[in-house]
């Protein structure tokens, strides 16, 4: 079967139908897409978007396609690029836990851009989205954890296949052309972990959406690829991994769905900080709590928490996203853990600097993974404490639909598009009843 | 120095001037560019160009930029993509021997496209071209031979850095922004050997030119990259190679030039076949030689010749390019070894099939690398033979300027653009006197 990985996957993609997919999966697709629009609204006016738009405006074709939260129009490929950038720029989008792929950013923007070029329904979009996510996450599974560890930015390097598969499904490619689409995507698979923390990360993620969409359009026009782009001796899996698990790409297709494992972040931080944030918010909300009286704060948890997040000194918002000291300080000071509290500006505030210094992170060998215990000692020797075992956003405590809606409402304000969140939220929940998906972009653009 | 690879390279690029480069190097740049236009003219009407144009026409922006040998106009990024495709589609372009990079295809098309967007001189183009080739070949040296062997299509994966550096030089980037350009290129570095032999190869090569140009334009507009895109722990060199030689990127910069080692193919074949072709052409041109009387043909040479090229059965033009049997047959039959003799059609001709069967390839342990001995036995027992030690196109017997001009004239006919080669040839030899490089594309387009 190792020499039929690409063709086996392509045949599954061609034959799969939304009618055969479980309702709970279709609902998860809506949750992912809603969460993706939320983070795109948050990122739509970020500096990287302005700068990339400056460059790409000069070369864009017919302005058919819209940008979430903005008024400019671009050609379909450029719009796919830019909406993937805004969705992922803060790493506040969704996470497929096994691979750390952010699955929505490369796939959903490619599909919505294609929807402003060809007319298709919300049901077709949901079908293609579910399949695209399946492709990128299964390819990711086949090469995890070595691929990311080696230095591949897996959202980009695998995302291009997801976008190609999703767009290929909308275009109605047959199995041979679907393999070509995967092959054209393989020629464009890129993205390095070294770029994380810089704007160049967004260039990789934008390309995953743009180039995946282009790969499918090219295959549709007869641009032929190799027969075994994934499993070939010099194909994607062997070149970018030491010991690919070919079977992971095709086993149990149609019975098991990767999208069902998708998770959504409640806070714009590394997930190890989630229980720290919740414990600190609990302490901060104690009646009579006076932050000016805090003498010291001790955070204890499993060893990974200290390994990843013991960072008393931070200089940028991005570093703050993985600093337990910073997270504790802002939660106790502002009773909030939104993008505002993890901005470049926030890390240099005097009160934050003052409180960050009082925070220690220690390892509790007995603590379970994902748990944190926060103890705050005040000037009058009162002790306030809180323990969190499973934070929101964990697989054990997934965000509710209402949580994702509230995240959407917060982020649309943060992103300053001035748009009303309610019609977009409402339309995404009704996606399976919408005849023309470009209706959504009409609501989401300025 | 290992943590200054990217910045060291960038500082060199920013400070280098054509005035300090040897004349022979500048002449080699013209030879490379001339050879690149020759192969672009050959490939401009290939099926892959037609199909890619079908796809990309829909999304192209302002039609400022020209396509060699064709009448369509595209935006600057799309033109860079398409001209890189036509330059490399037949693998008949130039070769940097140590890396097997085809250096001109990603760099020259990016610069000529940029020249239809901004006005600059032939001297600026030559300076930027030399530097771009230096960057891609030095990065290639640092990771060869493991990178290609692993399955990276090195012309694409390293070419994107060459295009970024060359375009960045024209844009006048400072060292910090030049590092960003390299970083934006690193996020887009892709290309797999698995795609060779299919049209998807061209998608990778086209992107090397397009995305490298975009990387520099983005850096110019403030899109920031990482500080160490090449040498970082999760940067390009470590991710795509087991044991990168960092020093190869920066040592002896400005004293030693990689472009000076560039080679040009006289025949559209794997280089191991060059001596076979020349020996067979010599036999075929023997007065009185009658191909219908050939009883058998024996080719002997060093072991690599048989390893790479002992292919009695071939089904496609691309396979024929690495078949000693096919090469011998067409040379003896048609006294020629041009693209016409290595087409899909040519491999199925009856006379070729008949003669191919009579050819044997044997190893002569005493033969030197690069040599071949051809012995033709005829029906009347006459023996005709020829020995070639160094074929044309080898480093020891480089193509003359006149050889490259003749190749250009042949290929412009092959490509059916209907254009006159002489004004283009003349203009490229005078490149250092041209005020506005877009004048060249006016001559090279329909």
pLDDT band at B354 (very low <50, low <70, confident <90, very high): very high
CB of B148 within 8 Å of any CB in chain A? no
pLDDT band at B395 (very low <50, low <70, confident <90, very high): confident
Q: Do A186 and B200 touch (CB under 8 A)?
A: yes
Residue B1: per-residue pLDDT: 53
CB of B235 within 8 Å of any CB in chain A? yes
The whole-chain average pLDDT of chain B stands at 96
Q: Do A228 and B58 touch (CB under 8 A)?
A: no
Looking at this predicted complex, what is its ipTM? 0.95
Which residues, numbered 160 to 189 in chain B, qualify as contacts with chain A under a Cβ-Cβ cut-off of 8 Å?
180, 183-184, 186-189
Mean pLDDT, residues B332-347 taken together: 96
Say how far apart CA B46 and CA B86 lie, in whole Å.
8
Give the one of A61, A195, A226 whose C-beta lies nearest to B198's C-beta: A226
Q: Do B200 and A58 touch (CB under 8 A)?
A: no
The model carries a pTM of: 0.96
Mean pLDDT per block of 10 residues along chain A (446 residues) reads 88 98 98 98 97 98 98 98 97 94 98 98 98 98 96 97 99 98 98 94 98 98 97 97 97 97 94 94 96 97 91 91 96 96 96 97 92 96 95 90 98 97 98 98 98
Structure tokens at B268: 């559209």
Indicate if the pLDDT at residue B58 is higher than 80.
yes
Collapsed DSSP state (helix, strand, coil) of residue B335: coil
Residue B396: per-residue pLDDT: 86
Indicate if the pLDDT at residue B394 is higher than 90.
no
Which residues of chain A neighbour B180 with C-beta distances below 8 Å?
200
Domain B271-388: CATH class, spelled out: alpha beta
Residue B257: per-residue pLDDT: 98
CB of B212 within 8 Å of any CB in chain A? no
Q: Are the CB atoms for B3 and B231 separated by under 8 Å?
A: yes
Q: Do A200 and B191 touch (CB under 8 A)?
A: no
Each residue's pLDDT tens digit, B202-223: 999 999 999 999 999 999 999 9
3-state per-residue secondary structure call for chain A: CHHHHHHHHHHHHHHCCHHHCCHHHHHHHHHHHHHHHHHHHHHCCCHHHHHHHHHHHCCECCCCEECCCCCCEECHHHHHHHHHHHHHCCCCCCEECCCCECCHHHHHHHHHHHCCCCCCCHHHHHHHHHHHHHHHHHHHHHHCCHHHHHCECHHHHHHHHHHHHHHHHHHCCCHHHHHHHHHHHHCCCCCEHHHCCCCHHHHHHHHHHHHHHHHHHHHHCCCCCCCCCCCCCCCHHHHCCCCCCCHHHHCCECCECHHHHCECCCCCCCHHHHHHHHHHHHHHCCCCCCHHHEEEEEEEECHHHHHHHCCCCCCCHHHHCCCHHHHHHHHHHHCCCCHHHHCCCHHHCHHHHHHHCCEEEEECCCCCCCCEEEEEEECCCCEEEEEECCCCCCCCCCCCHHHHHHHHHHHHHHCCCCCCHHHHHHHHHCHHHCCCCHHHHHHHCC
Q: Do B226 and A187 touch (CB under 8 A)?
A: no
Each residue's pLDDT tens digit, B288-307: 999 999 999 999 999 989 98
Indicate if the pLDDT at residue B60 is higher than 70.
yes
Nearest 5°: CA angle at A253, between A251 and A259? Answer: 115
Beta bridge pairs of residue B207: none
Q: Do A187 and B180 touch (CB under 8 A)?
A: no
Which residues of chain A neighbour B184 with C-beta distances below 8 Å?
200, 203
- For testing contact with chain B, the best of A191, A223, A235, A241 (most B CBs within 10 A): A223
Residue A1: per-residue pLDDT: 53
Which residues, numbered 67 to 126 in chain A, qualify as contacts with chain B under a Cβ-Cβ cut-off of 8 Å?
75-78, 117
- From B414, B408, B424, B418, select the one nearest B71 (Cα to Cα): B418
Q: Are the CB atoms for B182 and B9 separated by under 8 Å?
A: yes
As a whole-number percent, the residues of chain B with pLDDT over 90 amount to: 95
CB of B232 within 8 Å of any CB in chain A? yes
Indicate if the pLDDT at residue B2 is higher than 80.
no
CB of A232 within 8 Å of any CB in chain B? yes
Domain ranges of chain A: 2-264+398-444, 271-388
Each residue's pLDDT tens digit, B412-444: 999 999 999 999 999 999 999 999 999 999 999
Which residues of chain A neighbour B198 with C-beta distances below 8 Å?
183, 224-226
Residue A233: per-residue pLDDT: 95
Structure tokens at B101: 């990079």
Q: Do A195 and B239 touch (CB under 8 A)?
A: no
Better-scored residue on pLDDT, B3 or A330? A330
Structure tokens at B11: 């500082």
What is the CATH superfamily name and number for domain B2-264+398-444?
Answer: 2-methylcitrate dehydratase PrpD (1.10.4100.10)
Q: Are the CB atoms for A38 and A407 separated by under 8 Å?
A: yes
């Amino acid at each position: 079967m190792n020499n039929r990985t690409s063709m086996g996957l392509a045949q599954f993609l061609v034959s799969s139908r939304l009618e055969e997919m479980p309702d709970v999966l279709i609902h998860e697709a809506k949750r992912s897409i809603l969460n993706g629009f939320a983070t795109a609204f948050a990122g739509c006016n970020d500096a990287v978007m302005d700068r990339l738009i400056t460059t790409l405006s000069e070369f864009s074709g017919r302005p058919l396609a819209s940008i979430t939260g903005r008024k400019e129009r671009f050609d379909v490929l450029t719009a796919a690029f830019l909406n993937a950038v805004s969705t992922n720029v803060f790493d506040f989008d969704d996470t497929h836990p096994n691979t750390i792929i952010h699955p929505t950013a490369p796939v959903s923007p490619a599909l919505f851009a294609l929807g402003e070029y060809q007319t298709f329904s919300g049901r077709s979009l949901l079908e293609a989205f579910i399949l695209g996510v399946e492709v990128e996450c299964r390819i990711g599974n086949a090469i995890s954890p070595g691929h990311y560890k080696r230095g591949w930015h897996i959202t980009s390097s695998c995302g291009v296949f997801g976008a190609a598969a999703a767009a290929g499904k909308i275009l109605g490619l047959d199995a041979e052309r679907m393999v070509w689409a995967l092959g054209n995507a393989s020629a464009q698979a890129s993205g390095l972990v070294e770029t994380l923390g810089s704007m160049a990360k967004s260039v990789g993620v934008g390309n995953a959406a743009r180039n995946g969409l282009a790969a499918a359009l090219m295959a549709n026009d007869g641009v032929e690829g190799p027969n075994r782009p994934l499993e070939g001796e010099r194909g994607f899996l062997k070149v970018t991994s030491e010991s690919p698990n070919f079977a992971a790409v095709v086993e149990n297709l149609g019975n098991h769905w990767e999208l069902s494992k998708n998770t959504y972040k409640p806070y714009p931080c590394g997930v190890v900080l989630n229980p720290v944030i919740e414990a600190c918010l609990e302490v901060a909300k104690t009646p009579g709590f006076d932050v000016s009286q805090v003498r010291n704060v001790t955070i204890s948890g499993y060893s990974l928490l200290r390994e990843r997040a013991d960072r008393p000194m931070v200089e940028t918002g991005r570093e703050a996203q993985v600093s337990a000291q910073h997270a504790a300080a802002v939660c106790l000071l502002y009773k909030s853990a939104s993008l505002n509290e993890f901005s470049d500006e926030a890390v240099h505030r005097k009160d934050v600097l003052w409180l960050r210094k009082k925070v220690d992170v220690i390892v509790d060998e007995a603590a379970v993974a994902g748990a944190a215990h926060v103890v705050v000692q005040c000037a009058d020797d009162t002790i306030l404490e809180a323990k969190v075992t499973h934070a929101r956003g964990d697989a054990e405590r997934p965000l509710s639909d209402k949580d994702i809606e509230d995240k959407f409402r917060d982020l649309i304000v943060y992103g300053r598009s001035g748009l009303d969140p309610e019609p977009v939220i409402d339309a995404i929940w009704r996606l399976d009843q919408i005849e023309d998906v470009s209706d959504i972009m009409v609501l989401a653009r300025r």
